[in-house]
Amino acid sequence: MLGVVVLAAATLSSTACRDWREAVIPGLANPQPQQALLQDRPPQPLPGHPGVTFTPRARYQNRAWAVALDDAPDDAWAEVVPLDVALAWGPVANPGVLTELSLHLKRRYVSVRWSHPLPLSEQDVMRHLSNHHLIPSTPAVMTDLELIRPGDLVTLDGLLVDLDGPAGRMATSLSRTDVGNGACEVVYVERVEVARPE
């Protein structure tokens, strides 16, 4: 499905010189991602990637703020999963929280640090922030995904999937409460919308 990108040249230039965290608008992101489990779906070949299959585990939709990204992963999955985006939603999607966080995304992991007390518990922060390994379903979707920058409001529609192939296995998380290795969402992206606040 073709992605729709909501970006205007005037919007791009107006946000270039300020901290994107200050431009985040509370209430626009989802309180929680929407997820519907799928039962007993067989593996399917991943188009354009011989020897790689994906197994749908759940339908997934999330509207959240991009807070970190890695558009040049350097691992065995880089051609299949070319982009990682950390997303924040719910109470973390607020300038009063995000301006206190230091976020870094590299090697498929997002790190989060803060030095001052937050208005949320550590558990609330980790439950409303997650790295997403993104698999474009079409070249057009990939073109749209490449436009994502920190501070964009991103809507993803697609499938949470497990990947199997020559590089091994990459399994998706199905929970928003897990942390550490295996806690990332692996998303086969069928539709994406990107908006940038003025």
Q: Write the DSSP symbol of residue 75.
A: S
84, 109 in Cβ contact below 8 A?
Answer: no
- pLDDT at position 17 is 61
pLDDT of 33 strictly over 80: yes
- pLDDT at position 197 is 87
**Listed residue (94, 115, 118) closest to 26, CA to CA:** 94
With tokens 């870094």, the residue in question is 104
pLDDT band at 13 (very low <50, low <70, confident <90, very high): very low
CA terminus-to-terminus distance, the chain: 27
- pLDDT at position 2 is 26
Separation between Cα atoms, residue 52 and residue 60, nearest integer Å: 21
Please write the tens of the pLDDT for every residue from 151-173: 999 999 999 999 999 999 999 99
- pLDDT at position 18 is 76
- Read off the tokens for 107: 């090697």
Residue scoring higher pLDDT (5 or 88): 88
User: What average pLDDT does range 57-69 have in this prediction?
Assistant: 98
- Read off the tokens for 65: 């703020």
- Read off the tokens for 102: 């230091």
- pLDDT at position 7 is 45
Please write the tens of the pLDDT for every residue from 69-117: 999 999 999 999 999 999 999 999 999 999 999 999 999 999 999 999 9
Q: How far is CA 189 from CA 67, 94, 112, 117, in A?
A: 18, 25, 25, 36
pTM over 0.85, yes/no: yes
**In this predicted structure, which of 9-13, 101-105, 126-130, 180-184 has the lowest mean pLDDT?**
9-13
Q: Write the DSSP symbol of residue 151.
A: T
- pLDDT at position 139 is 96
Please write the tens of the pLDDT for every residue from 107-156: 999 999 999 999 999 999 999 999 999 999 999 999 999 999 999 999 99
